[in-house]
Amino acid sequence: MMAGRYPGRVGLQQRVLPSYRATFLDMLAAACDGGLSVFAGKPLPSEGIQPVEKLNVATYVQARNRNINDPASPFYICWQSGLLRWLETWQPDMLIVEANPRYFSLPRAIHWMHSQGGKVIGWGLGEPHITGPLASYRQWERLRLLRSLDAIIAYSNLGAQQYQQLGFPSERIFVAFNAVELAPTCAPPARPPYFSDHPVLLFVGRLQSRKRLDLLLKACAALPANSQPHLVIVGDGPARAELERLASQIYPLAEFAGTRQGAELEPYFAAADLFVLPGSGGLAVQQAMAHGLPVMVARGDGTQDDLVRQANGWQVPPDDLPALTNLLGQVLSDPARLREMGEASYRIAAEEINVESMVSVFIRVLNSFNS
């Protein structure tokens, strides 16, 4: 649960501000006596990110992002106009930045903070091994940015290990597990130890090729007819039309529910038996856990290791159709076990990985410079 306050004024920089961060940022702002100002720009249309429109407690200052290349490219660069002007106006005691060396305006901001006697905390996913063109230069950029930070907050334990392997002092590395949901306060819906009809599989997220929903449709279609689930896909995106065509050909039991947000999602989580994320990304995993669902995800960037454990779910090799098909068949044959794992998911979301816990870590890091 959240505890503690920070007595000073905080600035927080992000390239873009997805809508799912609003709860976290407003709760963090409420715990900062001097207030929190957030500086972020708009996503590119191709990214399909739903940005925050406003914040209720934190102050939101719009940046102008000047983008070179696509964010998915290893050669992407972003310059945020107005960053120094925002800092000079807000005068934060502490600055939290997205720890990404491809944001070329960050070094000036970090230098300005240090010249004013302030501290800068990085916040990032981690630093996996770099390969490909200009790998040495990109590694140098990464190390230069890290060495300029006073502390860093990683999304996951794996991310923290990666920062430490790059030589960042372990005593200045902290972990705030990535979360979008508050700790649940209501018990999850009662689910009997059997399926009343077809088991219900749920996916929630942006419909993009990297989510590998094509793999999930094929895996469901490969199961015996008497154990095939009702697959509910919530979300929209550039891959929707292609996925609907594929479903009509091989898996008509799939339902495309379109975009649902907030309270609109509740009945979908309540009706589901298992949450499945066959590709990359997916903060909806923590949402599913808060609703008492077991989870099945593809192995990825390490955030899944903290969320998905033997007690509450499964990780499958990415892009492996036979492995996904076999595991689905095993899982759907034991509804009682699914219910037990759903209860474990709920406990993790209630006690360990939630927005309150995330805010507590940030406040602890901010206050670590006052001792």
Supply the range of the domain harboring residue 218: 200-351
pLDDT, tens digit, for every residue of 323-332?
999 999 999 9
Task: For residues 101 and 164, state if they share a domain.
Answer: yes
d(CA 295, CA 182): 18
How would DSSP label each residue in 101-149? TTBTTHHHHHHHHHHTT-EEEEEES--PPP-STTHHHHHHHHHHHHHT-
Task: For residues 161 and 258, state if they share a domain.
Answer: no
Show the tokens assigned to 94. 């502490």
Task: For residues 174 and 314, state if they share a domain.
Answer: no
Q: Provide the pLDDT confidence category of residue 301 given band limits of 50, 70 and 90.
A: low
Give the DSSP H/E element, type plus range, for residue 235: none
Q: How many folded domains does the chain comprise?
A: 2
d(CA 289, CA 240): 25
What is the three-class DSSP state of 250? helix
Residue 239 near residue 166 (C-beta atoms within 8 A): no
Whether residue 185 lies inside any domain: the answer is no
pLDDT at residue 2 is higher than 90: no
Task: For residues 84 and 128, state if they share a domain.
Answer: yes
Task: For residues 29 and 166, state if they share a domain.
Answer: yes
Show the tokens assigned to 128. 């996996």
pLDDT, tens digit, for every residue of 209-252?
889 999 999 999 999 998 899 999 999 988 999 999 999 999 99
The mean pLDDT of the chain is 92
Task: Find the CATH number of the domain harbouring 338.
Answer: 3.40.50.2000
Q: Provide the pLDDT confidence category of residue 189 given band limits of 50, 70 and 90.
A: confident
Task: For residues 175 and 251, state if they share a domain.
Answer: no
Q: Provide the pLDDT confidence category of residue 1 given band limits of 50, 70 and 90.
A: very low
The overall pTM is greater than 0.75: yes
Task: For residues 170 and 278, state if they share a domain.
Answer: no
Task: For residues 161 and 75, state if they share a domain.
Answer: yes
